[in-house]
């Protein structure tokens, strides 16, 4: 029987290849109107032989039980829907309006016919003019491992020119060989081909072949082991990338805090709200652009970043001048006052913009992804990693090399001395706080791209940010960097084993224990500055 099918296929293909389109599709379709399965088979072969563009549509419909005969005029139609169905002429594709299901007869098919259709359809796609379609057909075949397609595949492979498609077809052939009763040597070679492919499907195939104890099974097992290794390598790499991107989000959220907390010793519980406001600035910028200059939408982030910095920095300075400066030397009170402030800011945003999420669009250049080996890097993750590092480096340079940075460090180390040297400590305080808040605002722009922009946005980052700063060592930007990336990566590596929530708990517990061991964090400063 297999032989018969193969023969029929050969015939079909031969006919197609020569573009013999002598017969008329409509006539051949008409001959489907019979209860004899053998005749139907013949009719199907004939339909395929027409090489008409509608062959695929008709045969697919037949396979899906959607090819029906209108009782009134015995016209073969393709029907869509249930109950009252939309029908079209099967031969021409001309729409014929609606019909009741009761007015239509189904063309019954059996399994043999199904197989026949499948082979023909497979053949059609394997021989399609479009290389993408051929590629997909080969890949589908690799997965389905339908032995009835072995012959057409071989034929297709023989005349394939495109190297990529050729490769896919060879892999599909190897897959079919492995499930066929081919000789051992051929199968062993096939194992290697499949192994070289190395993806999830290859692993699935090899694991199914690896059952048993013959040479092929052994080879498959071997291939599988080495593939598992490669896969866990790529998985780790992928996790590292996810971790890196989570880490840079943490870095962005924490770095402003590292300044206000680390440099000034001020606990700003409203830090998260600065992040949130930054995200809302992004939203507003996009709203305005959408109304005024929709073409600029892709550039909206470039406008949002400086604007968010400005807005939050100003708010920060206002907060410092009106609240924080009265509370220096009383860190716990600062903590509570800024917490009160965070409630007010949250509620203010909620009253202004409503409690629901606001839609912030992602520029086109941030969508899409990059494939690197088995690694997928999405553009927005990459953008955030790069952005976080840029912010970090920028800040580092600012603190190291600018006059302001110098004054800031002077004030941190010895307030009296700095003020005696003519530094306006009050101004430095305000600006430092403004800087920390401004950076939080920038972080908000970035987070608006990956998180929901809602009044609660900041809340979800505040504890993590504190953890990062404390873990990294207060007053040390490098510590913040290392801590953020470490925690991000640790989180992502724990996730597969422990699940997201438990992973997070483990990380928290780890930090709590770590702080016991090293109360000053990873990179502790020694000396008077920290004791004060």
Ligand X SMILES: Nc1ncnc2c1ncn2[C@@H]1O[C@H](COP(=O)(O)OP(=O)(O)OP(=O)(O)O)[C@@H](O)[C@H]1O
Query: What does each C-alpha distance from 87 to 35, 60, 91, 445 come to in angstroms?
Result: 22, 15, 12, 52
410 binds another protein (CB under 8 A): no
Q: How many Cα atoms within 13 Å fall on the side-chain side of residue 163?
A: 0
Nearer to another protein, 19 or 517 (CB): 517
CB 468 within 8 A of CB 251: yes
First to last CA, the chain: 91
Q: Least distance to another protein from the beta carbon of 348, Å? A: 8
323 binds another protein (CB under 8 A): yes
Rule CB under 8 A: choose which of 3, 332, 403, 422 binds another protein.
332
Helix (H, G, I), strand (E, B) or coil at 183: coil
Taking residues 250 to 289 in sequence order and writing x for each that binds another protein by CB under 8 A, - otherwise, the string is -----------x-----x-x--------------------
491 binds another protein (CB under 8 A): no
Rule CB under 8 A: choose which of 172, 337, 440, 453 binds another protein.
337
Partner interacting with residue 433 (select from ligand X, another protein, none; CB below 5-8 Å by kind): none
Nearer to ligand X, 111 or 416 (CB): 416
Partner interacting with residue 335 (select from another protein, ligand X, none; CB below 5-8 Å by kind): another protein
* Residues counted in the chain: 532
In the complex, the residues that contact ligand X under the rule CB under 6 A are 527-528
Q: Least distance to another protein from the beta carbon of 272, Å? A: 12
Alpha carbon distance 354, 452 (integer Å): 13
Q: Least distance to ligand X from the beta carbon of 530, Å? A: 9
Rule CB under 8 A: choose which of 340, 354, 394, 496 binds another protein.
340
Partner interacting with residue 326 (select from another protein, ligand X, none; CB below 5-8 Å by kind): another protein
89 exposed, middle or buried (CB, 10 Å; 0-12, 13-18, 19+)? middle
* Structure tokens belonging to residue 66: 């959607």
Cβ–Cβ contacts within 10 Å for residue 488, how many?
24
Nearer to ligand X, 163 or 527 (CB): 527
Dump the DSSP string for 53-122.
TTHHHHHHHHHTT-EEEETTT--EEEEESSSEEEEEETTT--EEEEEEGGGEEE----HHHHHHHHHHHH
Nearer to ligand X, 502 or 530 (CB): 530
Q: Least distance to another protein from the beta carbon of 498, Å? A: 11
Q: How many binding residues for another protein (CB under 8 A)?
A: 48
Alpha carbon distance 42, 21 (integer Å): 16
- Phi first, then psi: what are they for 80, rounded to 5°? -125, 135
Restricting to residues 468-487, name those near another protein by CB under 8 A. Answer: 470, 474
Residues engaged in binding another protein (CB under 8 A) = 261, 267, 269, 323, 326-327, 329-333, 335-337, 339-344, 346-348, 350-351, 459, 463, 466-467, 470, 474, 501-502, 504-505, 508-509, 511-513, 515-517, 519, 525-528
């Amino acid at each position: 029987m297999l032989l018969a099918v193969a023969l029929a296929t050969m015939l079909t293909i031969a006919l197609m290849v020569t573009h013999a389109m002598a017969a008329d599709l409509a006539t051949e379709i008409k001959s489907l109107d019979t209860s004899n399965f053998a005749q139907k088979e013949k009719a199907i072969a004939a339909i395929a032989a027409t090489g008409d563009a509608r062959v695929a549509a008709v045969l697919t419909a037949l396979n899906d039980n959607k090819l029906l005969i209108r009782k009134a005029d015995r016209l073969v139609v393709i029907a869509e829907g249930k109950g009252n169905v939309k029908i079209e002429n099967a031969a021409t594709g001309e729409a014929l309006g609606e019909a009741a299901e009761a007015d239509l007869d189904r063309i019954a098919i059996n399994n043999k016919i199904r197989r026949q259709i499948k082979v023909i359809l497979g053949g059609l796609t394997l021989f399609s003019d479009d290389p993408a379609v051929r590629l997909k057909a080969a890949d589908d075949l690799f997965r389905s491992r339908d032995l009835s397609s072995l012959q057409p595949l071989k034929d297709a492979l023989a005349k394939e020119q495109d190297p990529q498609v050729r490769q896919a077809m060879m892999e599909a052939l190897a897959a079919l060989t492995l499930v066929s009763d081919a000789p051992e040597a051929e199968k062993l070679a096939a194992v290697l081909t499949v192994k070289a492919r190395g993806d999830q499907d290859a692993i699935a195939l090899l694991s199914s072949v690896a059952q048993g104890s013959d040479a092929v099974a052994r080879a498959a097992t071997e291939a599988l082991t080495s593939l598992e290794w490669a896969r866990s390598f790529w998985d780790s790499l992928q996790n590292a990338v996810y971790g890196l991107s989570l880490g840079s989000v943490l870095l962005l959220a924490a770095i402003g805090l590292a300044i206000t907390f680390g440099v000034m010793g001020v606990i700003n519980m409203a830090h998260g709200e600065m992040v949130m406001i930054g995200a809302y600035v992004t939203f507003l910028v996009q709203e305005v652009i959408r109304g005024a200059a929709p073409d600029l939408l892709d550039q909206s982030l470039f406008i949002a970043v400086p604007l968010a910095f400005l807005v939050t920095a100003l708010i920060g300075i206002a907060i410092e001048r009106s609240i924080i400066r009265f509370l220096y030397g009383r860190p716990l009170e600062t903590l509570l006052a800024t917490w009160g402030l965070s409630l007010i800011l949250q509620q203010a945003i909620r009253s202004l913009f409503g409690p629901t999420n606001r839609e912030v669009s992602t520029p086109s250049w941030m969508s899409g992804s990059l494939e690197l080996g088995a690694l997928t890097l999405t553009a927005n993750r990459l953008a955030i990693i790069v952005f976080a590092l840029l912010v970090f480096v920028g800040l580092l340079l600012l603190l190291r090399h600018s006059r302001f940075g110098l004054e800031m460090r002077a004030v941190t180390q010895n307030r009296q001395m700095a003020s005696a040297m003519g530094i306006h400590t009050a101004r430095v305080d305000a600006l430092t706080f403004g800087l920390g808040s401004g950076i939080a605002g920038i972080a908000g722009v970035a987070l608006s791209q990956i998180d929901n922009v809602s009044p609660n946005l900041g809340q979800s980052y505040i504890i993590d940010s504190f953890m990062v700063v404390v873990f990294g060592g207060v007053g040390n930007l490098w510590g913040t960097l290392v801590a953020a990336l470490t925690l991000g990566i640790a989180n992502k590596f724990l996730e597969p084993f422990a699940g997201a929530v438990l992973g997070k708990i483990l990380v928290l517990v780890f930090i709590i224990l770590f702080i016991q061991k090293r109360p000053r964090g990873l990179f502790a400063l020694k000396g008077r500055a920290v004791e004060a």
